[in-house]
Chains A and B, each alone.
Chain A
Amino acid sequence: MTFFHFGNCVALAYVPYVIVYKCSGLAEYSAFWKCVQAGVAYMLTQLCKMMILATFFPPSDLPEETFDIVGEFLKCTVDFADLVGLHFVMSKVAGKGQLKFMIAGMGWATAELVMTRFLPLWVGARGIEFDWKYIQMSFDSNVSLMQHIATATLVWLYNRHDLHKSLVSVVAILLVLSSYRPVIVEVLIHAVGLGTWTVLLAKLLFTSSVGLIALRLYVSLSLEVNSYY
């Protein structure tokens, strides 16, 4: 399409990040460099993941259409490295307690956005051909922002010692669910035959429910913490 269309896509993909950064208090604590550090940690984690994938999961000879569910499942297991990475960021990067996971999630999501979304948009959204997928991609990056912040919150919660014992298992289940999100989405696409818009909607619903539960847990915990004072 046109440069204008590219501008639209970029605005849709990036402006929510700016809004969240400005309004969540990160800007006031001048957490910019910390976010960049989180981003660098993201890149290192991805590098490690890729090495593991390339070493242990050689490309299969199966034809394109068939869906190897066990293989995909195992590949998604490698995504637990993301959780380790997030934990590493939160334990090494200094910051006020509650701010930690915002920094980690924000930096993580932004790095992902820059690394995986900008180039396809630059190449694709400016071509002559119009396709909804670039708008969808931009929406999807908004969903991933939510997703990463929620995951960071869950990792933070999981490492809290004052978390109620019964809630630990809930947090663990949510973490596993968000790690296996890609494979769940794949299964949905293959089993139900969802269209691209419905897949996006499903992702949004999934992420927002995980996000809401994480928020609920976080709020209850912080109320508890505050009540000590």
Chain B
Amino acid sequence: MWLCGADEVVEMFKSSFPLSFLFFVPVLILISPVSPAAAAHEFAVFRMQQYDLQGSSYGCRNSLVNVEARAIEAQMYTRRCVITKLQDLAMDKYREIVSQNAGALLVLLPQNLTELPNIVKEHLLELEQDLMQEETPLPVYFATETPQLLDIYADVKTSMNSDQAGSAAEALLHAASANGFQMVVAGAQSKALGDFQLVNIQGKLTGSGIEEQLPTVAIVAHYDAYGVAPMLAKGADSNGSGVVALLELARLFSKLYTNSRTHAKFNLLFLLSAGGKLNYMGTKRWIEDQLDSSESSLLTDVSYVMCLDSLGAGENLYLHVSKPPRDGVAGDVLLGNLREVMGQFYPDAKFEMVHKKINLADEYLSWEHERFSIRRLPAFTLSHHSTHKAPLRKSVLDVRDSVDKNVLSRNVKIIAESLARHIFNLSHDTDFEVFADSLKVEPQTIGSWLDYISSQPRPAQSLGKTSPLVATLQQALAKLLKDVQLHMVKADKRDPEFVFYSGLEYVMNAYNVKPAVFDLFLALGIAAYLGIIYFLVQVGTTCH
């Protein structure tokens, strides 16, 4: 009975060709697997920043791309992936791309960022700042130029696009011969990392005597980096140099503190803070937890907090304060020491105090010490930047080559000497050097630490508690200091101060494609060819 039914069905298909065509073609399309071919071109791309901070959203909100490539010289960007070299992307062009609802933007960065001409560097710095001003639905990707990518770029650029053609015939002809690229970033859409924790690393050196009764000096450096694309942010100077300086200071003073004759009557508190580029979120919570906890903390009656930020380049050294220290307080003593040490050992370099009041109306605090100053703790920041507006502090251009280990060693030496003169209460007119011979600052160690820390991107998003860098820093501090602890900072569930998103790095595929019209032309060509074959075979058999 079943077989009879089957026969009928077979008959139905046999009798009517259109019916069987209508039946089989959709079935074939349905059972066909999705794009099984491997891409001819595959390359790593780095997505632009995406985060929410204090209720505002920044960066690009999308990550998925599946559109055709266009060069930036084209006029139409709608639903296209715009490919551009860094030099060709200007802010007005970017706004136009966004307003035309482009599908994606791919920016090609030169191989070696340090060897760029200055004008290009400035352009990049400006662009980075402008891009991060607002949020955008456009997926923005950055990629380093490779020969293969440049080939694709050249192809996309030279192929004149149909919307630029002069006449309809020209457009049609072009459509048949064009060689396009379909850019695809597949995978999961970027999503919020709900329970991400920032990790502060703290440790201390206890002074000689009863710990609670001794004055305390805190040394703070944030260890994350920032750039327009998180995975390109190496942050060698800001704030890799600050972290290395802090590690070296910890090493020098731990040596002094292990010997009972050089054990000072000061506690030293060290903090490597997280989220420094995101309005010092890690520092903020750390201060809150320290001051508001029921246990007495060393921070409550700290003499001063010394923040280290960008110390690895430049001739000069600046001390940034939000309120100049009154005469005679500890901060003033250190300021005097710094001036003296600079004058004695490095008379060529300039040292200056920069006074800038905290502007609470600003979205971002200028320096890390302002987090402490808000809570009425005496604090200042040491940096070679004369102003907090220096764009290099938040740039992908901040790579290892921009930092000089000798300059950093000099700055560490200055800070260490001044600090030693303060805590050991050395007389003012001496030119006695504490950190000489076996205690001297080691440029070699500083150099290798700098190499290590700037060898990998350090965006705040990737420095969770499982991060190897955090573990390394913790171990390094644990060897030198006592009581090394990790302090976790988690955003509030209901009203988060910061939200990070997944998807920092993707693989982009470029598929070589032809427009749909091309297939139509091809079909015509094949039909003509088959016609000729038919004709030839007919002629051949009739002659025969």
Which of A's residues lie within 8 Å of B, judged by CB?
1-5, 7-8, 11-12, 15-16, 19-20, 23-25, 122-124, 126-131, 135, 142
Instruction: Name B511's contact: one of A3, A25, A129 (CB within 8 Å).
Output: A129
Q: Which of B49-74 contact A (CB under 8 A)?
A: none
Collect the chain B residues with CB atoms within 8 Å of residue A127's CB: 35-37, 511
Specify the chain B residue showing the minimal Cβ separation from A142: B533
**Are A131 and B512 interface neighbours, CB within 8 A?**
yes
- Would you give the 0/1 interface string for B180-201, flagging 1 where the beta carbon is closer than 8 Å to chain A? 0010100000000000000000
B526, A130: Cβ atoms closer than 8 Å:
no
- B360 proximal to A (CB < 8 A): no
CB closest residue in chain B, given A135 = B522
Q: Which residue of B lies closest to A127 (CB)?
A: B37
Task: Report whether A16 and B40 are in contact in the complex, using a CB–CB cutoff of 8 Å.
Answer: no
Chosen A-B contacts, 25 in total, with CB atoms closer than 8 Å, are A1-B513, A2-B516, A3-B28, A3-B29, A4-B516, A5-B522, A8-B519, A8-B523, A11-B526, A19-B530, A23-B534, A23-B537, A23-B541, A24-B537, A24-B541, A122-B32, A127-B35, A127-B37, A128-B35, A128-B37, A128-B513, A129-B37, A129-B512, A130-B514, A131-B40
Cα distance, A3 to B33, chains bound together (Å): 11
Is B402 part of the binding interface, using a Cβ–Cβ cutoff of 8 Å?
A: no
CB 8 Å contact bits of B373-397 with A (1 = contact, 0 = none)? 0000000000000000000000000
Closest chain B CB from A223 CB (angstroms): 11
- A128-B522 Cα distance, complex, nearest whole Å: 17
Nearest opposing residue in chain A for B66, CB measure: A128
Return chain A residues, CB-CB under 8 Å to B533.
Answer: 15-16, 19, 142
Contacts of A1 in B (CB 8 A): 513-514, 519
- Residues 485-516 of B, flagged 1 when their CB comes within 8 A of A and 0 if not, give 00000000000000000000000000111101
A16-B512 Cα distance, complex, nearest whole Å: 29
| B514 contact set on A, CB distance < 8 A | 1, 130
Q: In the docked arrangement, what's the CA distance between A198 and B236, Å?
A: 54
Interface string of B517-534 (1 = CB under 8 A from A): 001001100100110011
**What's the Cα separation between A101 and B29 when bound, in Å?**
38
Q: Which of A2, A15, A19, A23 contacts B519 (CB 8 A)?
A: A2
13 extra interchain contacts, Cβ-Cβ under 8 A, other than A19-B537, A20-B537, A128-B511? A1-B519, A4-B516, A5-B522, A8-B526, A16-B533, A23-B541, A24-B541, A25-B541, A123-B37, A124-B37, A126-B37, A127-B36, A129-B37
Query: Are the CB atoms of A4 and B537 closer together than 8 Å?
Result: no
A130 CA to B510 CA in the complex, in Å?
Answer: 11
A3 to chain B, nearest CB (A): 6
Cα of A124 to Cα of B36 in the assembled complex, Å = 8
- Interface range on chain B (Cβ under 8 Å from partner): 20 to 34
Contact of A129 with B40 at beta-carbon distance under 8 Å, contacts A12-B529, A16-B530, A25-B541 already known: yes
Q: How far is the CB of A8 from chain B (nearest CB, A)?
A: 5
B39 CB contacts on chain A under 8 angstroms: 128-129
Q: Who on chain A is nearest to B28 by CB?
A: A3
A150 to chain B, nearest CB (A): 14
Task: Name the prevailing secondary structure of the A interface residues.
Answer: helix
Shortest A224–chain B CB gap in Å is 15
Q: Which residues of chain B come closer than 8 Å to A24, judged between CB atoms?
A: 537, 541
| Contact A23:B538 (CB < 8 A) given known A3-B29, A128-B184, A130-B512 | yes
Q: How far is the CA of A127 from the CA of B38 in the complex (A)?
A: 8
Q: Given A2-B516, A5-B519, A129-B512, are A123 and B537 also a contact pair (CB < 8 Å)?
A: no
Cα–Cα, bound, A123→B35 (Å): 8
Q: Which residues of chain B come closer than 8 Å to A3, judged between CB atoms?
A: 28-29, 32
Partner of B182, one of A7, A122, A128: A128
Which one of B513, B516, B526 has the highest number of Cβ atoms from chain A below 10 Å of its Cβ? B526
Taken together as a complex, chains A and B put the C-alpha atoms of A74 and B511 apart, in Å, by 39
CA distance A129 to B512 in the complex (A): 5
Chain A residues with CB under 8 Å of B522's CB are 5, 8, 135
Q: How far is the CB of A100 from chain B (nearest CB, A)?
A: 16
B37: A residues at CB distance < 8 A: 123-124, 126-129
Nearest-neighbor residue (CB-CB) of B514 within chain A: A130
Measured in the bound complex, the distance between the Cα atoms of B529 and A5 in whole Å is 16
Q: Bound state CA distance, A12 and B527, in angstroms? A: 8
**Which residue of chain A is the closest to B41 with respect to CB atoms?**
A129
Chain A residues near B538 (CB-CB < 8 A): 23
Task: Write the nearest CB–CB distance from A5 to chain B, whole angstroms.
Answer: 5
In the complex, A217→B516 CA distance in Å? Answer: 47
CA distance A57 to B39 in the complex (A): 33
Give, as a whole number of angstroms, the nearest-CB distance from B510 to chain A: 9
A23 to B526, CA, bound (A): 19
Complex: A131 Cα to B537 Cα, angstroms: 30
Query: Which chain B residues border A126 with CB–CB below 8 Å?
Result: 32, 35-37
Docked CA distance A16–B530 (Å) = 7
Question: Chain B contacts of A20 at CB under 8 A?
Answer: 537
A169 CB → nearest B CB, Å: 27
Residue of A with least CB distance to B534 = A19
- How far, in whole Å, are A7 and B520 apart by their CA atoms in the complex? 11
In the bound complex, do residue A15 and residue B523 qualify as a contact, i.e. CB atoms below 8 Å apart? no
Q: A46 CB to closest chain B CB, in angstroms?
A: 25
Give bound CA distance, A123 to B34, whole Å: 10
Q: Please report the C-alpha to C-alpha distance between residue A201 and residue B483 in the assembled complex, in whole angstroms.
A: 79
Do the beta carbons of B530 and A4 come within 8 Å of each other?
no
Instruction: Give Cα distance in the complex from A130 to B541, angstroms.
Output: 38
A180 to B36, CA, bound (A): 34
Contact of B530 among A15, A25, A123 (CB under 8 A): A15
Residue of A nearest to B544 (CB): A219
Interface residues of B in 404-435 (CB under 8 A from A): none
Give every chain A residue within 8 A of B513 (Cβ-Cβ): 1, 128-130
List CB contacts (< 8 Å) of B184-229 with chain A.
Answer: 184
Q: How far is the CB of B99 from chain A (nearest CB, A)?
A: 29
- Taking CB atoms, residues of chain A closer than 8 Å to B40 are 129, 131
* Residues in chain B near residue A142, CB distance under 8 A: 533
Give the most central of A2, A25, A129, A142: most B CB within 10 Å. A129
| List of A residues within 8 angstroms of B541 by Cβ | 23-25
Least CB distance, A216 to chain B, in whole angstroms = 13
CB distance from B440 to the nearest CB of A (A): 54
**A11 contacts B530, CB within 8 Å?**
yes
For A7, the closest partner residue in chain B by CB is B523
In the complex, which residue of chain A has the Cβ closest to the Cβ of B25? A3
Contacts of A130 in B (CB 8 A): 511-514
Residues of A with C-beta under 8 A to B537: 19-20, 23-24
A20, A128, A142 — most chain B CB neighbours (10 Å): A128
